[in-house]
Amino acid sequence: MKISNSSTFACRYCRYYVPEGRRGGHCQQLNVTVQGAWKACSLAIPPFTPAWENLEEIIVWQRKTLAAQEATLAILAQQQASCVSQSEELTASEPAPRSPRRQTEGIKALWT
């Protein structure tokens, strides 16, 4: 594990430090009461450094999300294909509509 050369040289500059009262605070990492002026331990992390501890979890989450999106798209594509085939079957089974022109011609032929 790399030791970072950071400016976290006192507990009060650590990400895990929570101030309580005037001079003291609480270390969330060690779950103990500490003084802000104490020299920081080897577990200290600067407050604005990216959290690389969860990098593997983030990568797994991204992969799961992408897999879920791909599965959803595949399902939607199947549903769309089945809807298109059903609409094609319906249009093929319906008789073709008669044009109004032919109907009027037939009526005119009856009156003449």
What values do phi and psi take at 15, rounded to 5?
-65, -30
Query: pLDDT band at 8, cuts 50/70/90?
Result: low
Name the residue with tokens 């011609």: 105
For 73-94, what is each residue's pLDDT tens digit? Answer: 999 988 888 887 777 776 666 5
The whole-number average pLDDT for the span 7-20 is 84
Read off the amino acid at residue 55: L
Per-residue confidence (pLDDT) for residue 84, from 0 to 100: 78
Per-residue confidence (pLDDT) for residue 96, from 0 to 100: 58
Per-residue confidence (pLDDT) for residue 5, from 0 to 100: 47
As given in the structure block, the two tokens for residue 1 are 């594990």
For 22-69, what is each residue's pLDDT tens digit? Answer: 878 999 889 999 998 888 888 887 777 666 667 777 788 889 999 999
Name the residue with tokens 């003084």: 35
